[in-house]
Structure 1
Amino acid sequence: MVMKPLFWLIAFILFAPASAWSAAQPQPLALQIHPFLPSLEIHRRFHPLSNFLSQTLNRPVRIRIATNYAEHIQSFGEGSAQLAYMGPAPYVKLTEQFGAFPILGQILVNDSPTFTGVIAVRANSALGALRDLRGARVAFGDVNSTMSHWLPRYLMTQEGLKRSDLADLAHVGNHMNVAFGLLAGEFDAGALKQSIFKQFQSRGLRALATTPAIPNHVFVAAQNLPEEDVSAIRAALQALDAPDKRFILQALKPSISGTHPAVDADFDELRHVLRTTAAAPW
């Protein structure tokens, strides 16, 4: 008689359907990130954040890196992940294609909710202004990148430049590839965000032009994520503003100083820039 409870417990463990166990286990969350850097570097930078969220939410948070910016937008809109880290232009395109998404928080860089990019040249380049890019070889990053495609293209179209005015325009995938291509002499000018430019400036780069300031990157929740999960993740991201936890966000970029509440209307000016750029002759 004493052994019966133990017998039934062992029987349950051995023969209970997997669904009975999976229902008791918290389901993992996927944090999807666009490939703005090489994959290994993205994993290294986001690992402290995924660990922190896993511990705080009491469920695994796994990193998923999209194959390119377009896949990042499309797959997240279709439900490939529960969370996403998105640049401003991809966020705008996401909402245009799929509707509204809950914004979980926006990063602050040096206490600012906005950032800029540059069109850079080598320090010894004879190019002195955007108009000098006629006949030049130019490198952009991904075709959906904010600072490595849309904003520099906006600057160039405002100067009356078209793609046909250039000797070559190549999309090389990410910001670091732009810097490497410039330094290697493969291109005469290239577009990249300010933080990557500063990283390589001392190696021989110079800013030719600076983009307008636009909203920083945001963390976004899937449309079908339950409200209690959205609230819990928002609270977890806000907790990273504490001095003893700020290193987690600074692993993404040392100049990140915290997070900031953001709303969709913050991106309206960028929407205007993107529409203007898309409509301009190119």
Structure 2
Amino acid sequence: MVPERLLKHDFESFAEYLSQQTNRPVELVLEKSYRKLLDSLLADKIDLAYLGPLPFVFLTQQDPSFVPIVRFVDKSGRSTYTCCLADFRGDHINVDSDRPLLVSLPQPYSTCGYLMSEKLLNRHHYSLSNGGYIYSGNHSESALDVLRGVTQIAGLKTSIADKYHHLGLQVIEQSPPLPGFVLIANPRTVPQELIKTIHSRLLALDPQHTTKDAETTHLWGEGIRYGATEVDTSDYDVIRDMLQQIAIPGIDP
């Protein structure tokens, strides 16, 4: 996952905003892993959480009562993103013929980790189980492991791969657009009226077109500062369908 200091920086101001809007204290809890976060949600120890599509699907498979409040958009106004496979252009990797391949992945619960990387490699009649893979910890480290020569291919978000293009990282395969990150609520611990308040206040923000709203969100993390939109849970069926075909080793959803 993202280092704790960065998570704290990204979400402290957001937590303060939620506290102001709800007139309730909001404590920021930073779990060490997605597995611990999901376990804490299911045990009613956490009220709200920011989840990527794969953890969101895992959570709602185990307990469908969790409520998706909003889905966040990026600076272009899109509420989707893509995953990719990337290599160092100087290595001249041929995914169709070079065997075996060592692949770096962010972490097990990342949508762009084992799940989507396996899907993209399958296009080339290859599987992660045929070679080797490592979990680098996050998307940037996955990219850097290729640039350091530790691995040959990285699975990661395309937007993060693009940040390392100037160092020689190139995208060699890309996924279709995937549904973005969501803020979810535990209906057993968060009253319905409070969920409605958070939903309406976040949807009312328009930081890309309103100066006042941009000032409100400018200290929020990159993934949440550009606004939000409604959640259509059927958009996440693409993740559910992939999980019917691909089992992620070591994960029991």
TM-score by length of 1: 0.79
* Counterparts of 2:97 and 2:203, CA distance in 1: 45
Tell which deviates more after alignment, 217-226 or 195-204.
195-204
The runs of at least 4 consecutive aligned structure 1 residues that moved more than 3 Å come to 254-257
Answer whether contact 1:107 1:260 (CA < 8 A) is retained.
yes
* Counterparts of 1:63 and 1:192, CA distance in 2: 26
Q: CA deviation at 1:51?
A: 1.8
Q: CA deviation at 1:219?
A: 0.3
Answer whether contact 1:178 1:190 (CA < 8 A) is retained.
yes
> After superposition, where does 1:73-222 map in structure 2 within 5 Å?
73-109=38-74, 110-128=76-94, 130-132=95-97, 134-166=99-131, 168-222=132-186
Structure 2 counterpart of 1:40: 5
Tell which deviates more after alignment, 132-141 or 103-112.
132-141
Compared CA separation, residues 60 and 214, structure 1 to 2 (3 A): same
* Counterparts of 1:252 and 1:212, CA distance in 2: 24
Q: Percent identity?
A: 25
The one-letter amino acid paired with 1:195 is S
Q: CA deviation at 1:135?
A: 1.5
Q: CA deviation at 1:210?
A: 0.6
> After superposition, where does 1:19-38 map in structure 2 within 5 Å?
35=1, 37-38=2-3
SS of alignment partner, residue 107 of structure 2: coil
Q: CA deviation at 1:122?
A: 1.3
Q: CA deviation at 1:230?
A: 0.5
Compared CA separation, residues 65 and 132, structure 1 to 2 (3 A): farther
Compared CA separation, residues 51 and 255, structure 1 to 2 (3 A): closer
Answer whether contact 1:249 1:258 (CA < 8 A) is retained.
no
* Counterparts of 1:264 and 1:175, CA distance in 2: 25
Structure 2 counterpart of 1:245: 213
Structure 2 counterpart of 1:265: 234
* Counterparts of 1:46 and 1:220, CA distance in 2: 15
Compared CA separation, residues 137 and 79, structure 1 to 2 (3 A): same
Answer whether contact 1:122 1:188 (CA < 8 A) is retained.
yes
Q: CA deviation at 1:221?
A: 0.3
TM-score by length of 2: 0.87
Q: CA deviation at 1:216?
A: 0.4
Q: CA deviation at 1:249?
A: 6.6
The one-letter amino acid paired with 1:259 is A
Answer whether contact 1:68 1:142 (CA < 8 A) is retained.
no
Please, which runs of 5 or more residues in structure 2 have no aligned partner?
249-253
Q: Which protein, 1 or 2, shows the higher relative CO under an 8 Å CA cutoff with sep ≥ 6?
A: 2
SS of alignment partner, residue 235 of structure 1: helix
* Counterparts of 1:133 and 1:93, CA distance in 2: 34
* Counterparts of 1:47 and 1:79, CA distance in 2: 22
Q: CA deviation at 1:267?
A: 1.1
* Counterparts of 1:40 and 1:217, CA distance in 2: 20
The one-letter amino acid paired with 1:273 is M
SS of alignment partner, residue 257 of structure 1: coil
Answer whether contact 2:53 2:111 (CA < 8 A) is retained.
yes
* Counterparts of 2:98 and 2:73, CA distance in 1: 33
* Count of aligned positions: 242
* Counterparts of 1:127 and 1:250, CA distance in 2: 40
* Counterparts of 2:224 and 2:44, CA distance in 1: 31
Larger radius of gyration: 1
Answer whether contact 2:88 2:170 (CA < 8 A) is retained.
yes
